[in-house]
Copies of this chain bind each other. A is one copy, B any other.
Amino acid sequence: MSIIVQKYGGTSVGSIEKIKAVAKRVIAEKERGNSIVVVVSAMGKTTDQLVELSKKISQNPCKRDLDMLLSTGEQVSISLLSMAFQEYGYDSISLTGFQAGIITKGPYTKNKISDIDIRKIKNYLNKEKIVVVAGFQGINEEGDITTLGRGGSDTTAVALAAKLECECSIYTDVEGVYSVDPRLYKHAKKLNTISYEEMIEMASLGSGVMETRAVEIGWKYKVPIYVASSSENIKGTYIKEYDKTMEEKVITGLSLNNDIVMITINNILFKSSNIADIFEKVAKENINVDMISQTSPLNKRVNISFTISKEDSHLIKKVMREIKSKNKELEILIEENISKISLIGIGMMNQSGVTGRVFRALANNKIEFRQVTTSEISISYTLDSINRERAVNVLAREFNL
């Protein structure tokens, strides 16, 4: 008999009918002879609705109170799911974050799990109970109820699996991890396996299947993570350690990010402190800078481009106006209709020529790109948004994604 941690997200427990359906799926797994820990999120849009409620009192509510408020969402889910198990004749126990022994630290609304006291859960598993744990929440050393921020329930599930030394299944509204988002490229292939490293690149580059933090924990503790549909009984994707069988493919996946703004500053007097000044001003406004590319100086003048999230578009304009007003010689260009395409694959590390193939494929289709940046296992390009669909199709075909 082995232990399995299963996680069901908000959409999967979005109604009473869906909660009953989840209960039946879990019971089926239990009937195969496994011990089950189920981690659940708040029902549907509950968390958003609670945030809205708090905004009616304060635009900037006390974050400790916000954690107190938001954590009720998962508490409702666990109690209803546990009732469903018992209605179907199975013994179960619902546990909030603190009852499940999930100790956290950090700033409210963005806590991290620092430890899990697993004894209570083990004790209930030994008694043959289905253990239902509230995702997204824990308790800090002061005894305050805390939440884990975006993707927090995934983190709870993977961290529990790490402690219980078992596999973690993430059941969600997608059917697994695809090489390309199927909404972008209808021939996209579902992956049987993907390595932790690749998944982290995919996730942080905009593929919304799982939060990066959860995959990082999985990687650190070597937890096999299985991502699959919560409603259909079809094969999903394993996220696990890289092994040789994965090496056949050069590129594992492609991700697209439309929500970006590209800033180009030309004619900067070449001095590292000048560039530092610019990025310091950007950082001061809490604007997250993504791709940065700089070309080699010509006549002691240098050009630099970088991208930021579209949500900071208003702020960056303010910063750039200030910079321009003090440095009249600078040429500043802010482009808003920009997309970013990234190709990810561990295979890239051992195979040369990927960049050449990309350049050729795009050139053959008359698609111009603006910027290129690379990491060990990924290459990212920015291009005009108008070309993004064609570019996705060209590259997906080129690398058989």
Contacts and interface: CB of A to CB of B under 8 A. Distances in A.
A61 B61 CA distance: 35
A83 B71 contact: no
A79 B66 contact: yes
Nearest to A134: B68
A159 interface: no
Contacts of A50: 76
B72 A75 contact: yes
B72 A145 contact: no
Interface in A50-76: 50, 53-54, 56-58, 61-62, 64-66, 68-69, 71-72, 75-76
A62 B75 contact: no
Interface in A132-169: 143-145
A300 B144 CA distance: 70
A68 B96 contact: yes
B75 A58 contact: no
A203 B348 CA distance: 78
Contact of A57 (B61, B62, B66, B83): B83
A357 to B, nearest CB: 54
A20 interface: yes
A84 B65 CA distance: 10
Given A65-B94, A75-B72, A19 B80 contact: no
A86 interface: yes
Contacts of A62: 82-83, 86
Contacts of A94: 64-65, 68
A69 B42 CA distance: 12
A28 interface: no
Contacts of A68: 75, 78-79, 82, 94, 96
Interface string A31-64: 0000000000000000000100110111001101
A62 B71 CA distance: 21
A16 interface: yes
A53 B20 CA distance: 13
A145 to B, nearest CB: 7
A368 interface: no
Contact of A56 (B16, B65, B78): B16
A117 B80 CA distance: 30
Oligomer: number of copies:
2
A53 B94 CA distance: 17
Nearest to A62: B86
B57 A80 contact: yes
A57 B96 contact: no
A87 interface: yes
A99 interface: yes
Contacts of A54: 79-80, 83
A319 B87 CA distance: 30
Contacts of A145: 96, 99
A83 B96 contact: no
A57 B143 contact: no
Nearest to A120: B143
Nearest to A54: B83
Contacts of A64: 93-94
Nearest to A143: B99
Most B CB contacts (10 A, CB to CB) among A56, A68, A84 go to: A68
A65 B86 contact: yes
A57 B18 CA distance: 11
24 contacts: A19-B57, A20-B57, A53-B80, A54-B79, A57-B84, A58-B83, A58-B84, A58-B86, A58-B87, A61-B87, A62-B83, A65-B79, A65-B82, A68-B78, A68-B82, A68-B94, A69-B79, A69-B83, A71-B75, A72-B75, A75-B75, A99-B144, A99-B145, A120-B143
Q: Which 9 A-B pairs have the closest CB atoms?
A: A69-B79, A68-B79, A72-B72, A58-B87, A65-B79, A61-B83, A16-B56, A65-B82, A62-B86
